[in-house]
Amino acid sequence: MIHIPKLRKVKLISIFLLIFFGAFLRFYNLNFDDLWSDEMISFWLSNPTYSFSETLKLIFESNLMISFEVILKNFHKLFGYNVHVSRYLNAFISVFSVILFVELLRKNSVNINTVLFGTFLLALNIFHIRYAMELRSYTLTFFLALILINLLFKDQYLKKDITHLDYFLIILSSLLMLFCHPFSIIIILSLNFYILCLWVLKKNNNSNLKKIFFLNTFVVIFFLFFYLRGISHTPYWIKQLDLSFFTNYFFSSFFGSRLIGGVYLIALIYLLTKSLKEMINKANINFFFLILIFFTYSLPAFYGFIFDPILINRYIIFVLIPILFLISNLAFENKNNLTKNILVSLILILTFFNHFTENTFKQFYTEIYPSKPQVKKSLEIINNSKTLSYSVLLDDNNERNINTIYENYLTNYSKKLKFDLNFVNYLNKKTLPDDLWIIHIRDITEIDFKKPDNFLEYTIKEKKYLNRLELYKLKKNDT
């Protein structure tokens, strides 16, 4: 029987409990908010009634996040196409990500305190929790990035004993990651730059390095062949980076507030400054993560200054991996016990108590309010009225299938609630009901509600505002 020292056993149990607590925060009240427009797109693309070829065609026309939409489609096949089922996929993936992060720390640090600290930081990270509860590809991108890094690194260096199965899994996880979100190309480019540094700094000509470098290059070229042919636009709503970005680097979003983000940022800069020379000399995983952080910010920012802005916080969610790993690892490599204890204690306290300002904890002791369009409440209002016909404010051109996306979500939600409502696509109908409700979803548009031309002879009888959703009751004028 293996003997585990009592203190180590306590810490191992603590790691397990932190994973469990993190899972609880991700699953509890998972569907408190209804889906917002971007999530509705994923819900529509993953409709299991579409054939595989139809799904791929729609994905190429929409967002090119093939991996996530196809996995979600199969998840729906297994567990049902239900508006309250979909988000469970990301919640599970998020929990598995915490477990994979624990494994990464375990394999690449010598101190169990590092593992315990790192587990706490990711399990309770507000940004990671927030996107575990959203039906988008970012959580899966994070998970696939962790798979890839775990496959490549052990004992703080690139593995020397990489098997044929490992190479296959590296290629597979790289492709899935790239086709989950294009920003993950930064991880591959960072890895290749790291290998180039090993060749130059360490004169390391290991054959495995050459294989990984050329496999990565092939994977990137393969991805770009499809991506550059499929991409149709740059999001118009992303703003150019301003000066405040360079004082924060999204840390306020990543860690809950400007104060706490500032503490994390100062801690990271302090730890990197103290360890920089050693990191470069060793050229280990810490050095790779430093490269990854640098490229994650610099490449999209540089592109944005030359062409169109493309950098927003959720696109680079994977940068939490190097940030949290380096803070965890370098904090316990610090030989100054006083500084180490103050730094670790401050981060632990701020991270935990920040949740009392977030819905994660507030939901247990006070009323919380939806942050996304209140679709369920709008359908309940319609169902409780005498007017059971409804529609959504439709786009005359059905740009990017937005009308179909909204109709799909609303009709499926109505079915889930067992409401006998009549959705009216007024663009395709000559005869319209004398009265009906129109839902105007405002989360991705600044356009104010205007009566469609089909309803010029109608009067607005009621208006309701439901958190970035407006509900209008229209009645035909008496003739």
Confidence of residue 1 (pLDDT cuts 50, 70, 90): very low
Encoded tokens for 52:
């595989």
- With a pLDDT cut of 90, the percent of the chain lying above it is 85
Section 157-186 average pLDDT = 95
Residue 48: its pLDDT value, please? 96
Report the alpha-carbon distance of residue 399 to residue 23 in Å, rounded: 38
Burial code (b: 16+ CB inside 10 Å, e: under 16) for 228-237 equals eeeeeeeeee
Q: Is 27 left (phi over 0), alpha (psi -120 to 50) or beta?
A: alpha
Return all residues near 213 (Cβ < 8 A) that are at least 6 apart: 192, 195, 196
For residue 157, list its beta bridge partners. 154
Strands (E), 315-418: 389-392
pLDDT at 153 over 90: yes
Amino acid type, 123: A
DSSP-assigned letters across all residues of 141-189: HHHHHHHHHHHHEETTEE-S---HHHHHHHHHHHHHHHTT-GGGHHHHH
Residue 86: its pLDDT value, please? 97
Confidence of residue 204 (pLDDT cuts 50, 70, 90): confident
Q: How would you write 434-450 as a 3-class SS string?
A: CEEEEEEECCCCCCCCC
Section 209-216 average pLDDT = 94
Report the alpha-carbon distance of residue 182 to residue 172 in Å, rounded: 15
pLDDT in tens, 21-80: 999 999 999 999 999 999 999 999 999 999 999 999 999 888 779 999 999 999 999 999
Residue 4: its pLDDT value, please? 52
Q: Pick the closest to residue 474 from 374, 392, 377 (CA basis).
A: 392
Residue 124 is given by DSSP the state: T
Section 105-125 average pLDDT = 95
Residue 60: its pLDDT value, please? 86
Return all residues near 103 (Cβ < 8 A) that are at least 6 apart: 150
Residue 232: its pLDDT value, please? 60
Report the alpha-carbon distance of residue 158 to residue 150 in Å, rounded: 10
Residue 402: its pLDDT value, please? 93
Least confident of 11-15, 67-71, 202-206, 264-268: 202-206
DSSP-assigned letters across all residues of 22-83: HHHHHHTTTTSSPP-HHHHHHHHHT-TTS-HHHHHHHHHHHT--HHHHHHHHHHHHHH-S-T
Confidence of residue 233 (pLDDT cuts 50, 70, 90): low
- Strand 153-154 to strand 157-158: parallel, antiparallel, or no bridges (unpaired)? antiparallel
pLDDT at 3 over 50: no
Report the alpha-carbon distance of residue 211 to residue 208 in Å, rounded: 5
Burial code (b: 16+ CB inside 10 Å, e: under 16) for 55-65 equals beebbeebbbb
Section 353-364 average pLDDT = 94
For residue 290, the Cα-to-chain-centroid distance in whole angstroms is 22
Residue 133: its pLDDT value, please? 96
Residue 400: its pLDDT value, please? 81
Residue 446: its pLDDT value, please? 84
pTM summary value = 0.95
Q: Pick the closest to residue 177 from 123, 128, 141, 228 (CA basis).
A: 141
Section 428-438 average pLDDT = 92
pLDDT at 269 over 70: yes
Section 127-141 average pLDDT = 97
pLDDT in tens, 387-420: 999 999 999 888 789 999 999 999 999 999 999 9
pLDDT in tens, 176-193: 999 999 999 999 999 999
Report the alpha-carbon distance of residue 139 to residue 92 in Å, rounded: 10
Residue 176: its pLDDT value, please? 97
Sign of the alpha-carbon torsion through 152, 348, 262, 26:
positive
Confidence of residue 161 (pLDDT cuts 50, 70, 90): confident
